[in-house]
Amino acid sequence: MRSLSVWLSVALATVVIAVPSKDGAHKLKESIPAPRGWTKSAPAPADHIIELRIALPQPNFAELERHLYEVSDPFHDRYGQHLSKEEVESLVTPEPESVHLVNEWLASHGLYEDSLSRSPAKDWVLVKVPVTLAEEMLKTEYHVWTHDASGESVVRTTEYSIPEHLDDHVELVQPTTMFSRMRSLKTTFHINDVQEKVAAAPAAAPPISIPSASGGHVDASCNQTITITCLQQLYNAVGFTPSTKHGNEIGITGYLEEFANIQDLQSFYADQRPDALNSSFTTVLINGGLNNQTLSEAGGEANLDTQFAYGLTFPTPGTFWSTGGRPPFKPDTITTTDTNEPYTEWLDFVLSQPKLPQSISTSYADDEQTVPASFAKRVCAGFAQLGARGTSLMFSSGDGGVGDGEEDPALQECFTNDGRNATRFVPLFPPSCPFVTAVGGTIHVPETAVFFSGGGFSDLFPRPAYQELAVTKFLKTLAPGTYQGLFNPNGRAIPDVAAQADLFRVFLSGRPVSIGGTSAAAPTFTGIVSLLNSARLEKGLPPLGFLNPLVYAIQALDPTAFNDITVGNNPGCGTPGFNATKGWDPITGVGTPNFGKLKDIVTLDFLHIPGL
């Protein structure tokens, strides 16, 4: 860990008023071809405001990664010994020289400390500037680009440069070359006026025999409508009540003006969880996020996530973060600010908090290829910081099968975005980040892989060691030449796990609706993880933290701890996609959770379990 003198040097470097100086020669930092599906129109308005986000290198990130894997590996004697906020920050804080030189560069353009903001570890610098100044600083030209299919617009450039002497001190600057279109992941969403009849119709049918379920059976109604009771039965969690005495919490992220409605939550509780009536959750607003409680403004995604995550884990305290901002904007006189991906705004906020929920669910993503590699890697590094502090992060794997996230295969455009327009499967980010747990989807009882479950292999992140055994086994099942050139067999494999992902009974604007998508699977699996954390904390054990090394270790040693899904496929890009099969597969990962078995495993001291 860094000494006090280093911290003092960094602190002094952040407040020094640098003497303005000329930038000198510039060096090209990043250049991309014109992005596919976007049309460049007029030059960006000179007074349009851009919030530049400047990343300084994290010289000791490799050390942070080492710590992360050691405290997340059930075979390691440091398992569960998560780092503090201060310890994590000390490992990602930039060198004082980098801070000083970037300060000097900004000051040369009239940007001093009072006009800047910084991330908790000082590894990001944010400054709002007009387009004219951004163009001067980065020796580039910004234009308004319009997405052909949606009509959404962004102010972006396809290349930028920085002063040559800063090349080793600035990792990236955005928004510049990022043409992503963040979206929530839901494949079906429809108001069902006959929902009451649909839910009640199968009540007389005999229960479905499922040996791994609580009591060995699941209500027949669960093949038409998924409720909290269905999930508790199916995932062997009936009868477990989490404790509120040991600090366990669960968090849900909300983006794209999605508001979780309290009145709808009470309707949901009255319908499915009456013991939770009159309870609620904490809403935290980030980056101009809102909390519109007008019933007609309720968000389907936000309601789905909060109702099922908090319904599964009641009475565990819950937090819903409403984060403002999105990359696309309409360039008019009302909207004058262009923003980065709101993941980073959320990350800056939560990393600054001394205490974090132990499990967090996110149901939003971009096509991996639309996010610049430098930016994706830095965001992924932010997720690693949360994991090192003991937080489990779940992301839905996508709703386009092996395609680009479009639910309708006929609308998928499975082409590379690098100017070659080559046919390629399209993984999503952040699920492709190796430091998060990607959640795929299933349907019906007995469970099969749901056709839209996103899955495949990252083109950006290499396969992590914790996946090597399971994924290699799967790849050996493929016939030689299967989908050759369409995916990267050496990439980080998606997803890691799965859960039910369709026919969820949610209340929206006062009415029951049916919602599906891996956006339902993520909060469901997160709820199970939260219950596991409650069981561990009650035993005096630390929270699970970064899950993946443990998930794959358990699956290898006790496959019955996850319900292996062996039926189904995830078509996309004009192909049948991959098949669900024994063991790990790129549709459902290692399978869906058996809470009862997992609880028995994770409440033991791993280091003293024979064979583990």
Q: Which residue has the higher pLDDT, 187 or 139?
A: 139
Task: Please tell me whether 564 is known to bind a ligand.
Answer: yes
Give the per-residue pLDDT at 21: 46
CATH architecture designation of domain 185-192+218-608: 3-Layer(aba) Sandwich (3.40)
Q: Report whether pLDDT(203) > 60.
A: no
Give the per-residue pLDDT at 184: 52
Q: Report whether pLDDT(4) > 60.
A: no
- What is the arithmetic mean of pLDDT over 591-612? 80
Task: Please tell me whether 585 is known to bind a ligand.
Answer: yes
pLDDT band, very low/low/confident/very high, at 606 (cuts 50, 70, 90): low
pLDDT tens-digit series, residues 468-499: 999 999 999 999 999 999 999 999 999 999 99
pLDDT tens-digit series, residues 148-180: 877 878 899 999 999 999 999 999 999 999 887
CA neighbours closer than 13 Å in the CB half-sphere of residue 293? 5
pLDDT band, very low/low/confident/very high, at 201 (cuts 50, 70, 90): very low
- Interhelix angle 85-92/61-72, rounded to 10 degrees, is 140
Give the per-residue pLDDT at 408: 59
Q: Report whether pLDDT(128) > 80.
A: yes
Q: Which amino acid is at 163?
A: P
pLDDT band, very low/low/confident/very high, at 189 (cuts 50, 70, 90): very low
Active site residues: 301, 305, 519
Task: Please tell me whether 565 is known to bind a ligand.
Answer: yes
- What is the arithmetic mean of pLDDT over 118-137? 94
Q: Where are the alpha helices (DSSP H) in 26-110?
A: 61-72, 85-92, 96-107
159 by Cβ neighbours in 10 Å (0-12 / 13-18 / 19+) ranks as middle
What distance in Å separates the CA atoms of residue 201 and residue 195, rounded to the nearest whole number? 10
153 by Cβ neighbours in 10 Å (0-12 / 13-18 / 19+) ranks as buried
User: Measuring CA to CA, how many Å separate 235 from each of 499, 556, 572?
Assistant: 9, 19, 29
Give the chain's mean pLDDT: 88
pLDDT band, very low/low/confident/very high, at 412 (cuts 50, 70, 90): low
Give the per-residue pLDDT at 191: 42
Q: Which of 443, 340, 327, 392 is nearest to 550 (CA)?
A: 392
Q: Report whether pLDDT(232) > 90.
A: yes
Task: Please tell me whether 286 is known to bind a ligand.
Answer: no
Give the per-residue pLDDT at 405: 61
- Give yes or no for a cis peptide into 430 (omega within 30° of 0): yes
Question: Phi then psi for 593, rounded to 5 degrees?
Answer: -80, 140
pLDDT band, very low/low/confident/very high, at 330 (cuts 50, 70, 90): very low
Percent of the chain topping pLDDT 90:
73
Check: CB of residue 188 under 8 Å from CB of residue 226.
no
Percent of the chain topping pLDDT 70:
87
What distance in Å separates the CA atoms of residue 26 and residue 183, rounded to the nearest whole number? 35
Q: Which residue has the higher pLDDT, 424 or 5?
A: 424
Give the per-residue pLDDT at 183: 57
What distance in Å separates the CA atoms of residue 298 and residue 294, rounded to the nearest whole number? 7
What distance in Å separates the CA atoms of residue 441 and residue 592, rounded to the nearest whole number? 9
- What is the arithmetic mean of pLDDT over 399-419? 75
Looking at the chain, the domain(s) classified CATH 3.40.50.200 span 185-192+218-608
pLDDT tens-digit series, residues 50-100: 989 999 999 999 999 999 999 999 999 999 999 999 999 999 999 999 999
Give the per-residue pLDDT at 325: 67
Token digits of residue 490: 């050496």
- 457 - beta bridge partners? 493
| Least confident piece of the model among 46-50, 74-78, 226-230, 608-612 | 608-612
